[in-house]
Amino acid sequence: MNHLLTTEGLERETLENLLTDADEFAEVLTRPIPKVPALRGKTVATMFFEPSTRTRMSFEKAAKALSADTMSFSPGTSSLSKGESLKDTALTVHAMGVDLMVVRHGATGTPWRLAEWLDIPIVNGGDGAHQHPTQALLDCLTIKQRFGSLDGLEIAIVGDIKHSRVARSDMFAMATLGANVTLVAPPTLLPVDTTRWPAATSTDLDAVMEKMDVVYLLRVQTERGGGSVFPSLPEYTNRYGMTSARFARLKPDAVVMHPGPMNRGVEIGHDVADYERALVLQQVTNGVAARMAVLFALLGGDSDV
């Protein structure tokens, strides 16, 4: 593996090796000194051209837990506002001596461009509505810890599928690991053609949710136009929100997940997010371990991974 750009086409063995390493790093993070020297001397730069709380901080924590140094680029305070191009910005940061870049950008494909321009590993931290592979890894890790394996699990991904990079990354990774994935959304928030995707589709959450082991809720991506294709948010919640009444109808050991940021009261009930069977904060915790596994595989690790 030279880069981590997408989960589409990733081999099952690659995913499983990353999850095994992530599990070990999760243990490291519980130690009194949650740090190993694996990437001492390496520098990881986070280049986030779109807002982020979890993903950027989690990559920084992951890099530091592996003893790498971190650098962080923010567009608002950078020379982008003086007209510098993406390519010149990337070459400039690279010239300071960077061993790996994590990139988030609103334009689909940006991480692939960086991978062409620079001779260092690139990790996609989210490109437009396209891919967010480390989110998929941390989600699969969280499910694996809970259920032992993804094989044969019924997983619904619910909400703004059309504009969600999380849905795309998760669907490919989960299907490769043996889960049966159903994408659930209003017709206007489903992509026009999903026939090449390893997932079933439904427009009726109530009809499918009672057989689910995992119900994965998505935020409506208003910044990508997701809010303009249904009549109102209350109407969306009425049909697709995980209210406490819906939660009560799930299988007794079913869990609810969400990548954050949550809009409580819209896609997830105000109180549901705090239930023991809502794994939202475990997902965040696992994000650090999953990203450690990725950084380790790309910068210092075993070539099998």
- Positions touching ligand NCD (CB under 6 A) are 54-55, 126, 132, 135, 165-166, 219, 259-261
**For tokens 């990725």, what's the residue?**
294
Is 163 a known active-site residue? Answer: no
Quick one: 42 or 258, whose CB is closer to ligand NCD? 258
CB 133, min distance to ligand NCD, A: 11
CB 183, min distance to ligand NCD, A: 16
Exposure string for 117-152, b = 16+ CB within 10 A, e = fewer: ebebbbbbbbbbbbbbbbbbbbbbbbbbebbeebee
Edge-to-edge strands, sheet with 122-127 = 69-73, 43-48, 100-105, 122-127
Which of 30, 82, 195, 196 is labelled catalytic? Answer: 82
CB 162, min distance to ligand NCD, A: 13
Is 104 a known active-site residue? Answer: yes
Quick one: 41 or 261, whose CB is closer to ligand NCD? 261
CB 259, min distance to ligand NCD, A: 4
**For tokens 């990881």, what's the residue?**
44
Quick one: 17 or 286, whose CB is closer to ligand NCD? 286
Which of 6, 43, 55, 70 is labelled catalytic? Answer: 55
Is 31 a known active-site residue? Answer: no
Quick one: 38 or 217, whose CB is closer to ligand NCD? 217
Which of 3, 42, 61, 104 is labelled catalytic? Answer: 104
41: left (phi over 0), alpha (psi -120 to 50) or beta: left
Quick one: 128 or 301, whose CB is closer to ligand NCD? 128
**For tokens 């499918």, what's the residue?**
208
Q: 182 — phi, psi (to 5°)?
A: -120, 125
- Whose CB is nearest to ligand NCD? 219
CB 104, min distance to ligand NCD, A: 7
| Residues that are catalytic | 54-55, 82, 104, 132
